[in-house]
Amino acid sequence: MTIRSTALITGANKGIGLAIAHQLGAAGHTVWLGCRDAARGQTAADDLRHAGIDAHALTIDVSDDDSVGAAARRLEKEIGALDVLVNNAGISIGTPGPASEEQIDSIRAMFEVNTLGPLRVTQALLPLLRRSPAARIVMMSSGLGSLAETGDMAGLYWNVDHAGYCASKSALNMLTVKLAKELLAEGIKVNAADPGFTATDMNGHTGYRDVDQAAAVAVHLATLGPLGPTGGFFHDGHAVQNRHRW
């Protein structure tokens, strides 16, 4: 009897999250689609099931303690263990502009979802992840969160504003390293994925990469073998050795 691995992807009713769910599902995982909107999540799960994927919707707001707790209790009851957690949910709000003019409330909201959200979900689901023989945690970060990349005056990101969003992803990178160190002895690998500038609702579909390309790095990190890396920041799942600078 083959036991299917189980994965939870947050922010999975559309865009990169849905693509990650589709790719993991096609590879044989049972996928749980974590979504704030229950109806949209159910529709996305139904679409995946019609494509032959074992998919389920899970209502979860990563910025809300009660919502995350309820989601964790449901997974505890229904599956008992979790093999893969992809912390994909994220937001970018506010008008782009210099850091000196960004609204603090907007920055605070982005940190709540982009930084504290992944930590909140990871903390709540660690008991389930620890029951997996080889759990994998993937943080969906961004090249905009790299201090080295954004500080390169000749680089791609030098002229990009969005200080609050960038800072929220930089903080997420630090949490990735700290969790990887903490969980190393338990065999749980924690890595950050840079999907690249991908055409999604977040950027008005102006990105030059499609969601399937962006999802590949997360899927690769979610399915690493025992000798795979941990505590790293990676772009392009098909060339994981191509490590970006933090």
pLDDT digits (tens, 9 = 90+) for 41-60: 999 999 999 999 999 999 99
Residue 246 lies in a domain: no
Q: For the chain, how long is the longest CA-to-CA vector? A: 59
Neighbours of 128 (CB within 10 A): 20
Q: For residue 246, how far is the Cα from the chain centroid?
A: 17
Residue 175 lies in a domain: yes
CA gap 12, 5 in Å, rounded? 18
Q: What is the pLDDT of residues 140-157, one digit of tens each?
A: 999 888 888 888 888 777
Question: Which of 202, 190, 201 lies closest to 234, judged by CA?
Answer: 190
Question: Which of 194, 209, 198 lies closest to 244, judged by CA?
Answer: 194
Residue 51 lies in a domain: yes
For residue 97, the domain's CATH number is: 3.40.50.720
Work out whether strand 136-140 and strand 84-87 pair parallel, antiparallel, or are unpaired.
Answer: parallel
CB hemisphere CA count around 197 (13 angstroms) = 9
Residue 244 lies in a domain: no
The domain tally of the chain equals: 1
Work out whether strand 55-59 and strand 84-87 pair parallel, antiparallel, or are unpaired.
Answer: unpaired
Q: What is the pLDDT of residues 165-194, one digit of tens each?
A: 999 999 999 999 999 999 999 999 999 999
Q: What is the pLDDT of residues 190-226, one digit of tens each?
A: 999 998 656 466 666 655 577 888 899 999 999 999 9
Residue 35 lies in a domain: yes
CA gap 127, 169 in Å, rounded? 25
pLDDT score recorded for residue 139: 98
pLDDT score recorded for residue 151: 83
Total length of the chain: 246
pLDDT score recorded for residue 153: 84
Residue 81 lies in a domain: yes
Residue 141 contacts residue 176 (beta carbons within 8 Å): yes
Residue 1 lies in a domain: no
Q: Where do the H-state alpha helices sit in the chain?
A: 15-26, 38-50, 65-78, 104-111, 117-129, 147-150, 163-183, 211-222
Q: What is the pLDDT of residues 69-88, one digit of tens each?
A: 999 999 999 999 999 999 99
Of 31-40, 99-108, 216-225, 228-237, the one with minimum mean pLDDT is: 228-237
Which residue range forms the structural domain that includes residue 192? Answer: 6-239
pLDDT score recorded for residue 197: 55
- Has residue 229 got a pLDDT over 90? yes
Query: What pTM was computed for the model?
Result: 0.92
Residues annotated as part of the active site: 165, 169
pLDDT score recorded for residue 184: 98
Residue 245 lies in a domain: no
Q: And the tokens for 214?
A: 């962006």
- Has residue 96 got a pLDDT over 80? no
Amino acid identity of residue 68, one-letter, is V
Residue with tokens 């693509």: 19
